[in-house]
Structure 1
Amino acid sequence: MSMTRSLLFAMLAILWIVPAAAHTSASSEVRLEPTKTGIVADVTIPQAEYAYASGNTASNDQASLADAKRYLLAHTAIRSADGSEWNVTIADVHFARNAGTPDLLAKIAYDPPAGAAPDRFDFEWSAVIANTPDHVTRVVLDKNDLSGPQLIGLLREGNTQVTVVAGRSTALARFGSAIQVGAEHILGGLDHLAFLVALLLAAPLLAKNGHWQALRSGKEAAIAVAQLASGFTIGHSITLISVALTGLTLPAPPVEIFIAATILLAAFNVIRPIFARRELWIAVLFGLVHGLGFAGFIREADADLTRNISTLLGFNVGLELVQIAVIVAVVPLLLFIARRGFYSPFRITAAAVLIASSGFWMVTRTVDAVA
C-alpha cells in the first residue's frame, strides 16, 4: 500500500512540474558563421527578455549600449579543444524592431589564439538563460556553402555549451544533430509532453454509457497506447512534411494557444470520455496542431531548415525517441496504479492539474498575443 501511494504522489508531482515548465518565453538565436580568421556571431535576443534578465535599460543611448556590451561579454566564450580561450570582441550592438517585437541585435567576433584549430571548438552562451529558466537559445551554424544552415543545439539553464565542428558537414552529421535538437526541444518545451501524458491517462480505461467504468486488460491498454502514439506521430509528421513542401506555417501565438487548448480538451477527456472510440482520430488531429509548433520552431531558426529533409527527418526522430521513452516510463506506472484501486482519484487529480495549467497557458498566451 505504501509503495502504491508513493508512486501516486510521485506521478502527481511530475504532472505538476511538467506543465509548470512549459515553454512560454521568447527564444534567442545565435548564428555562427566561420570566417578566414575565426567566427562571427549574429545575435538576436528579445528586448524584453534581455531587460528582465540583465536589469539593464534597453535603449540605444550610449550608456545602455555600453551596458549591453558588458553583459554579452560576460555571458559568452569560445574555447578550443585544449582549453585555450578565444578573444571576444563586440563589433556592433543596438536595439531594433525587425519583425514583431523589438530585439537586441549584436555582432560578435571570436578570434582563436595562435596555433588553435578554428574548425572545432566549444561555444558557451548564458545570456538571459542564467536568469530566465525557461528561456532557450537556438545555435545555428551557417557556413554559406551548399550544405546550408545547420541547427546544432538548444541552450538553456543547465546546458549552456555546445561543441561546434565548423568543417563541411555531411547529411549524416546534420541528421544526427537534428535528432539531438528534436529531443532537446520536446524535453525543454514540455507542453507537448503534457499533452501526451493527458492522452495516456485515459489509456487504461474503458468507457461505458458516457463514463469511465472499467479497466482495460494489459493487451487492450497496449493497443490503445499504440493507437494514441501512432496517431500523434502521424499528425505532427504530416504537418512537418507539409511545411517542407510548401514552406507555409502559422504565426506562433495562435499555434501556442491551440496547443494549450488540445491539452485542456485531452484533460477533460480524462475525467469524462468525450473522445470514446475516436481516440485515434483525435490524436491525429491534435498531432497536426502540435506539428505546427514543431515546424514553427524550426522555421523560426531559418526558413531553409524546413526544406532540409535530413534536418526535418532527424528532428522528427528525436521527438519520437523521447515520446517512446515517456510511454515506456509512464504506462507501466499507470497500469500498476490502476490495478491497486487508486486510479480514479489519481486521474481526476492529475486531470485537474492539467486543466488548471492549460487554462492558465491559454489566458497568458492570448494576452501576450494581443499585447
Structure 2
Amino acid sequence: MRRLHPLPLLFAALLAALGATPAAAHKPSDSYLRVLVGPAARAGDAVAAPSDTPVRLRWDVSLKDLDFLVGLDADGDSALTWGELKAKRSEIAAATLSRLGLEADGVPLTLRLDDLLVTDHSDGAYAVLAVGTDAEAEPATLAVRYRLLFDADPTHRGLVFVDAGEGPSAPAVLGPDADATRLDLAAGGGRSAASFLGFVREGVYHIWIGLDHVLFLITLMLPAVLLRSGGRWTPAPAFAPAAGGILALVTSFTVAHSVTLWLATTGWVEPPSRLVESVIAASIIVSAVHNLAPRLPLTGVGIAFAFGLLHGFGFASVLRDLGLGGTGLGVALLGFNVGVELGQLAIVAAFFPVAWLLRATAFYRVVALRVGSALVALLAAAWLAERALGLEIVGF
C-alpha cells in the first residue's frame, strides 16, 4: 500500500486553519463606552440634560447585541422597532449594567439607566444608554471592569474612552483576556501607550477573524512559489526571490489599505458599507479566477495594491465609529495598521515554508492552486450574492 506523504496533508490542514473563522452564533461586535467626568458629565448633550452629576456614562451598544442578550424582536419579524426597544428597557438595564463595574478612587459606584435612545453606526443601529452614577465628587482615578457578551461571544470588544471636558481620550480596548482598565483622570485618562498596544492586538485579531481578508491574502500567495511559463505553472527555482515576492505582496496590500483606511476613518471618503463589502467579495473572485486563467494586466504586487485599496474601506469600519481626533486617532490608526501587518506576516510565516516545500508536487499545482482557487471563487461568489442582494447563503 502506498504511503501518503505527510506534507500535502499538513498543507491542507494549514489552509483549513488559516481559512477558519470563529464558529459563534453571534457576529463579532464592539460597543463604545464613554466615561464623562466633570465638565463633560455636567454638560448637556443628545443623551442627557445638563446636571450637576460629576460622573456619568454614554454607552453605545448594538441592537443586534441587545437582541442576542434579551430578545428584542418580540414579533419575530427580524425588524427591531423603537417600541420593542422601549418595552425591554428594564431587561436591557439588568443585562448590561450587571456586566459593567465602575470604581471612583477605589470606591464602587452604583449605576442606573437614566435614558435610552437610538443612533446609527457604520454597521447598523445602536442603542444609546445614558447611565448615571451616585458619584458625589470628581474622582482622580476610575477603574472600569467590562464583561458584556464575553461569556457568549469571545470576539466581542468594549472600547472605553474618558472625557473630562477636552474631548475623548484614546480608547482602551477590552476583551475576555483584558476586561478591566484604570483611567488616570489627572493625566487626561492618559493611556496612549496602552491604547496603542490595544489597537495592535485588535489589528492582529481583525485580520485573523476576517475570513474574506485571509482568503484574499492566501489566494494572492498561492502562485507566489511558482512561475508562469508557456501557459503552465512551474516551480520557482530560488527561495529568496519567492520569499521577497511574498513580502512585497503583503507590504503592497498593507500600504494600499492604509491609505483608504486613513481616508475613510478621517471622513474624507465614506463609501456605503454594503457596497464596500460587496466589492471586497468581488475582488476575491477576480484574484481566484486570475490564478486559474491569468488575464489581468497586473503582477501579484499590482493586484495586491489595487484590491488592497478596497479592503482598506472594510478595515475602516473598526475605527470609524470611535469619534477620535488628533493624537487619539493617530494612535488608533498606527496601532491598528501595525497589528494588521503583524497578523499578515504571521499568516505568511505559517503558509510560505510549506508552500515552498510542496511547490513541485502535483498536489500543490492541482489541488492547492487550482481546486483551492476554484473553491475560494465559489465562496466569494456566495458572499457577493449575500452582500449585494441581502441573501442568506453561507451565513458567515
Q: TM-score range by the shorter chain?
A: 0.7 to 0.9
CA contact (8 A) 1:22 1:191 kept: no
Aligned residue number for residue 12 of structure 2: 9
**Residues 214, 335 of structure 1: alpha-carbon distance in 2 compared, 3 angstrom cutoff:** closer
Partners of 1:234 and 1:287 in 2: how far apart?
A: 8
How many equivalent residue pairs? Answer: 360
| Greater alpha carbon shift after TM alignment, 172-181 vs 218-227 | 172-181
CA contact (8 A) 1:182 1:316 kept: yes
**Residues 92, 253 of structure 1: alpha-carbon distance in 2 compared, 3 angstrom cutoff:** same
**Residues 98, 54 of structure 1: alpha-carbon distance in 2 compared, 3 angstrom cutoff:** same
Partners of 1:364 and 1:277 in 2: how far apart?
A: 28
SS of residue in 1 equivalent to 2:271 = coil
**Residues 274, 112 of structure 1: alpha-carbon distance in 2 compared, 3 angstrom cutoff:** farther
Partners of 1:80 and 1:330 in 2: how far apart?
A: 48
Aligned residue number for residue 394 of structure 2: none
SS of residue in 2 equivalent to 1:150 = coil
Aligned residue number for residue 165 of structure 1: 183
| Greater alpha carbon shift after TM alignment, 52-61 vs 311-320 | 52-61
Partners of 1:237 and 1:99 in 2: how far apart?
A: 21
SS of residue in 2 equivalent to 1:203 = helix
SS of residue in 1 equivalent to 2:287 = helix
Aligned residue number for residue 323 of structure 1: 344
**Residues 15, 153 of structure 1: alpha-carbon distance in 2 compared, 3 angstrom cutoff:** same
TM-score normalised over the length of structure 2: 0.76
Q: Which has the larger radius of gyration?
A: 2
1:91 aligned onto 2:107: no
Aligned residue number for residue 272 of structure 1: 293
SS of residue in 2 equivalent to 1:362 = helix
SS of residue in 2 equivalent to 1:165 = strand
CA contact (8 A) 2:173 2:198 kept: yes
Correspondence list, 1:121-200, <5 A: 121-127=143-149, 130-131=151-152, 136-144=156-164, 146=166, 148-153=168-173, 155=175, 158-159=176-177, 161-167=179-185, 168=188, 169=190, 171-200=192-221
TM-score normalised over the length of structure 1: 0.80
SS of residue in 2 equivalent to 1:202 = helix
Q: Please, which of 84, 89, 100 is the counterpart of residue 65 of structure 1?
A: 89
Partners of 1:254 and 1:24 in 2: how far apart?
A: 23
CA contact (8 A) 2:26 2:153 kept: no
**Residues 351, 78 of structure 1: alpha-carbon distance in 2 compared, 3 angstrom cutoff:** farther
Correspondence list, 1:280-319, <5 A: 280-302=301-323, 304=325, 308-319=329-340
Percent identity over the alignment?
A: 24
CA contact (8 A) 1:232 1:283 kept: yes
Alpha-carbon shift at residue 284 of structure 1 (Å): 0.9
**Residues 257, 341 of structure 1: alpha-carbon distance in 2 compared, 3 angstrom cutoff:** same
SS of residue in 2 equivalent to 1:30 = strand
SS of residue in 2 equivalent to 1:149 = coil
SS of residue in 2 equivalent to 1:266 = helix
Alpha-carbon shift at residue 207 of structure 1 (Å): 1.3
**Residues 223, 35 of structure 1: alpha-carbon distance in 2 compared, 3 angstrom cutoff:** same
Unaligned runs of 5+ in 1: none
Alpha-carbon shift at residue 23 of structure 1 (Å): 12
CA contact (8 A) 2:119 2:128 kept: no
1:106 aligned onto 2:129: yes
Paired amino acid for 1:256: E
